[in-house]
Amino acid sequence: MSLKKKPSPSIDQWLKEAKRDSSATQVGMFLTHNGVVRETPKAQVRQGIHDGTSVKGMTFSYDAEKVDHAIAEARELEGIFYLRVWLNEGELEVGDDIMYILIGGDIRPNVVHGLQFLVEKIKTQCVTEIETIS
């Protein structure tokens, strides 16, 4: 069964909602992450392998329980007071959104660390990305 990709959320709307959240008085900074399907293969970007291929799309899925666990871990990090995560799924095309993360915290070093922690955890432990190469 093939999953259908989801419509992307509005980061503007997310920020409006975050600023109305009960945690907002403790937040001095919000950061967002928007992962997007790119044409350049992972092997080229991460390992320098230039074989002339390009990405035409991606099959993307995730383990919701593992994502929830990663979010719970990130919430426990020092200075993190707000988190919202959206993950796409299904057959994605170049330019499609893979994920959005909005994280809010007290000071820049804590928020930057929290975003890096959560993106790394999701990308390495929670999702499956299969590039369609041509």
Q: Is the pTM of this model over 0.85?
A: yes
- Structural domains in the chain? 33-133 (3.90.1170.40)
What are the per-10-residue average pLDDT scores of the chain (134 residues)?
Answer: 84 98 98 98 89 95 98 98 98 98 98 98 98 94
Q: How far apart are the first and last CA of the chain?
A: 23
- What's phi and psi for 15, nearest 5 deg? -65, -40
Q: Are 84 and 18 in contact (CB under 8 A)?
A: yes
